[in-house]
Structure 1
Amino acid sequence: MSLKKVFVVLLITAGITLVGNFVGPKVSPIEALPGMIILICIAFVGILLSKIIRIRIPAVAYIVTIATIMTIPGFPFADKIYEFTSKVDFLALCTPILAYAGIYTGKNLGTLKKTGWRIFVLAIFVMIGTYVGSAIIAQIILKAIGQI
């Protein structure tokens, strides 16, 4: 997909998110716009890096890395970035992404049917493994810092 199309998709996602952010948590689109612009820029730079750097790393890895670095305490403007992006509700952000996933799955329903029941068993194990793994990591870290 060309970078122009990626940017258009990001803008559409941002628009839907701003509407969802207004309908759900009642945050004004104008108030959430700076945070949305920051999120679009982070996503776009991450996608751009995945196209420039020819190592087979998913764009989401670049996006998460950039976002994490930008919000480390002490990083220039980390407080402002957090302040602006915290006005964008997570569920409002998930709505267009889940809609795209549903459209993609519906479009490729034939392929999904060919994978059979094994894909659902795999999905269950992935979800359970992710949950248990996250709980174990959280337990270790919270114990180490004395929170529990």
Structure 2
Amino acid sequence: MLKNLKEWILVFLIIGAIMMVGNWVGYDVMPLDSIPGLAALIGISLAGLIIHRLLPFQIPSIAYIGIIGLVLTLPGVPGSEQIVAWTAQVNLLAIATPILAYAGVSIGRSWYDFVQLGWKTIVVGMFVLLGTFLGSALIAEVVLRMQGII
């Protein structure tokens, strides 16, 4: 458990640093302003992972992380306003970018497994990405036209 904890903390610190830079460069939030929010998010995530390891239930760790985050930000919980104010300084896309990059690296480490899936998987994946892009563009077009923006 201690080895896992050290690895988690290291990964969270690296991703937190990348999120801080992304938040600064992309959204003009100064690093010192985003540190409390990043620390709160990292602490909640770390607590969820620890609880997942300690409890015998087969519930995904993301459920524990979500529940902890929900409870800590409920109105009336001591300190919830402060946590909400801190995390409001961290933009969602600044969080998503390094996490998706980490997921890509994780997949990249198992190229042998990916190759075993075959060329058909690549074709299906390309169609999924194309369909997602075109579907998003179509929805955006319709909504923007309904609002009279375009």
Gaps of at least 5 residues in structure 2 are 133-150
Deviation of the 1:52 alpha carbon: 0.5
Give the corresponding residue for 1:18.
Answer: 20
Selected match of 2:8 from 6, 9, 25:
6
Q: 1:118 to 1:103 in 2, by over 3 A?
A: closer
Match of 2:31 in 1: 29
Q: Give 1:73's aligned residue.
A: 75
Alignment correspondent of 1:115: 117
Task: Map 1:1-148 onto structure 2 (within 5 A).
Answer: 2-116=4-118, 117=120, 120=124
Shift of 1:118: 6.3
**1:94-126 deviation line (CA, Å, top 9, x unaligned):** 1111111111111112212333546958xx5xx
Runs of 4+ with deviation above 6 angstroms:
none
Give CA deviations for 1:43-100 in whole Å, capped at 9, x if unaligned.
1100100111122222111101100111112222211111110101111111111111
* CA RMSD after TM alignment: 2.2
Range with bigger deviation, 110-119 or 9-18: 110-119
**Residue 42 of structure 1 aligns to which amino acid in structure 2?**
I
Task: Please give the TM-score of this superposition, normalised by the length of structure 2.
Answer: 0.75
Please list every run of 5 or more consecutive structure 1 residues that lacks an aligned counterpart in the other structure.
Answer: 129-148
